[in-house]
Amino acid sequence: MAASEEHDSPEDPQPAAAEEETKTFKDLGVTDVLCEACDQLGWAKPTKIQMEAIPMALQGRDIIGLAETGSGKTGAFALPILNALLETPQRLFALVLTPTRELAFQISEQFEALGSSIGVQCAVIVGGIDSMSQSLALAKKPHIVIATPGRLIDHLENTKGFNLRALKYLVMDEADRILNMDFETEVDKILKVIPRDRKTFLFSATMTKKVQKLQRAALKNPVKCAVSSKYQTVEKLQQYYLFIPSKFKDTYLVYILNELAGNSFMIFCSTCNNTQRTALLLRNLGFTAIPLHGQMNQSKRLGSLNKFKAKARSILLATDVASRGLDIPHVDVVVNFDIPTHSKDYIHRVGRTARAGRSGKAITFVTQYDVELFQRIEHLIGKKLPVFPTQDDEVMMLTERVTEAQRFARMELREHGEKKKRSREDAGDNDDTEGAIGVRNKVAGGKMKKRKGR
């Protein structure tokens, strides 16, 4: 009972009061080696969430961090963990759970950058990558494991000698999304096999009922560090909408890309197929566009992301795989080509631009079928969006070229689909013997074993 009373008492004012004089990471209690690492990364001073969370984490408290996207959450949990690791060096020291593979790689990069001078070793354990190489990485007992829940469970159940019984820190980043993607059973399993006596950090942009339930199950006497309680988008973000007939969406997209040429774009589509189609369409019109979606294999997804990060491509077309947590500092414009069905996803999508104090634009396409969804978004962010100015006659002049490019894109998609089908059939002819049977037995065997174990 004492714990819940403790949690209800608002602890937030304390760090807020210190905020005025606290200006550096050293003031927050971070050791010199890590302060130097922050300098090298160009982190001049702590962000709001870091000011609130780091001192509490260093005192050994469990933390619920509620902060908008792009607010420096990764630093807020990475620094206290590395600080503690320096004091008591140990293998398999911390586990970070994330909802998407790309986010896992990004968090790993931050840990390695911050811990480069102290030799921190990380392992990224996500689906879509060969399990064997991951088992070898885990056998080396890294300090930090960054994982998506499904693949981690796989290793906990099947990789000999791997366990998390000595774990000291558990972080759940984007906890709301982990639970929305229905990893609840996996998270429960993970909580059962890690020590109760640990520190837990729960970071989430939104506080949902599922997150509250998880908080009760996993945290002891936590401190709440909320930077923004209301759903909001960054102030330096200019948001617009365009009301257009659904059949002219492609034409308007091309018009906007021409109008705002010289910027880098992230364009969100609702399906993998539409992402691929629109990427082909834009390529046919001479734009440097690259897709990123869940049907691509992991190395292609990382390849796309790296080309865009390195500015070799100026347009990244993505599904909501890329709407959370990915930090690409130079995104100038976010286009919601397909309006998100969940209003909260709008916040995360447009959060890909105007990061770290820079300005940015977000343009949402609203067709005759999206009016209600759009009104929900306006209601959520508490503001009416202005219309993005367009010259309709100029847009219509593009129709012919766009129609031609659509035709080519459809043909390429069809060819690609047939190629895939053929390669599957070929694989079926040659490959369906030993290799595939082995895999099938393994899968079946895994399930049977588990059942017996029960």
Number of H helices, E strands in the chain: 20, 13
Q: What is the dihedral of CA 397, 399, 400, 401, to 10 degrees?
A: 90
First to last CA, the chain: 34
The one-character DSSP state at 116 is: G
Percentage of the chain modeled with pLDDT above 70: 83
Residue-level length of the chain: 454
Q: Give exposure, 59-91, as e/b (b: 16+ Cβ within 10 Å).
A: eebbbbbbbbbbbbbbbbbbbbbbbbbeeeeee
pTM over 0.75: no
How high is the pLDDT of residue 121? 95
Q: pLDDT band at 162, cuts 50/70/90? A: very high
Residue 357 has pLDDT above 70, yes or no: no
User: Token digits for 452?
Assistant: 């017996």
The one-character DSSP state at 231 is: -
Tell me which residue of 236, 200, 273, 260 sits closest to 7, measured CA to CA: 200
Cα–Cα distance between 140 and 124 in angstroms, integer? 13
Q: pLDDT band at 21, cuts 50/70/90? A: low
CB atoms closer than 10 angstroms to residue 43: 18
More confident residue, 424 or 28: 28
Cα–Cα distance between 109 and 122 in angstroms, integer? 9
Task: Report the side by side order of strands in the sheet with 360-366.
Answer: 237-243, 360-366, 333-336, 265-268, 315-318, 289-292
Rounded mean pLDDT, 40-66: 90
Of 20-29, 241-250, 420-429, the range with the highest mean pLDDT is: 241-250
Residue 429 has pLDDT above 60, yes or no: no
Residue 11 has pLDDT above 50, yes or no: no
Rounded mean pLDDT, 175-203: 88
Rounded mean pLDDT, 9-15: 42
Q: Is 59 left (phi over 0), alpha (psi -120 to 50) or beta?
A: alpha
Rounded mean pLDDT, 55-63: 93
How high is the pLDDT of residue 1? 40
Tell me which residue of 106, 151, 97, 156 sits closest to 126, measured CA to CA: 151
Q: Which residues contact 107 (CB under 8 A, 6 or more apart)?
A: 74, 78, 96, 98, 146, 173
**301-348 confidence digits (pLDDT tens):** 888 888 888 888 899 999 887 666 566 767 889 999 999 888 878 888
**372-383 confidence digits (pLDDT tens):** 999 999 888 888
Cα–Cα distance between 387 and 71 in angstroms, integer? 28
Q: Which residues contact 435 (CB under 8 A, 6 or more apart)?
A: none
Average pLDDT of the chain? 82
Rounded mean pLDDT, 223-232: 66
Percentage of the chain modeled with pLDDT above 90: 49
Q: pLDDT band at 92, cuts 50/70/90? A: very high
How high is the pLDDT of residue 62? 93
Task: Quickly name the fold that domain 237-415 has.
Answer: Rossmann fold (3.40.50)
Rounded mean pLDDT, 362-389: 91
Residue 233 has pLDDT above 70, yes or no: no
User: Token digits for 331?
Assistant: 């995104």
Of 19-28, 174-183, 244-253, 308-317, the range with the highest mean pLDDT is: 244-253
- Domain residue ranges in the chain: 2-226, 237-415
**Contact in structure between 149 and 179 (CB atoms under 8 Å):** no
DSSP 60-112: T--EEEE--TTS-HHHHHHHHHHHHHHHS--SS-EEEE-SSHHHHHHHHHHHH
More confident residue, 227 or 402: 402
Residue 2 has pLDDT above 50, yes or no: no
User: Token digits for 349?
Assistant: 């999508």
**Contact in structure between 349 and 377 (CB atoms under 8 Å):** no
How high is the pLDDT of residue 117? 86
CATH number for domain 2-226, candidates 3.40.50.300, 3.65.10.10, 3.30.70.2190, 3.30.1360.40: 3.40.50.300
Rounded mean pLDDT, 401-416: 91
**272-300 confidence digits (pLDDT tens):** 999 999 999 999 999 999 998 888 888 88
Q: pLDDT band at 97, cuts 50/70/90? A: very high
How high is the pLDDT of residue 423? 67
How high is the pLDDT of residue 425? 59
More confident residue, 264 or 448: 264
The one-character DSSP state at 227 is: S
2-226 and 237-415 have identical folds: yes
CB atoms closer than 10 angstroms to residue 416: 12
How high is the pLDDT of residue 330? 77
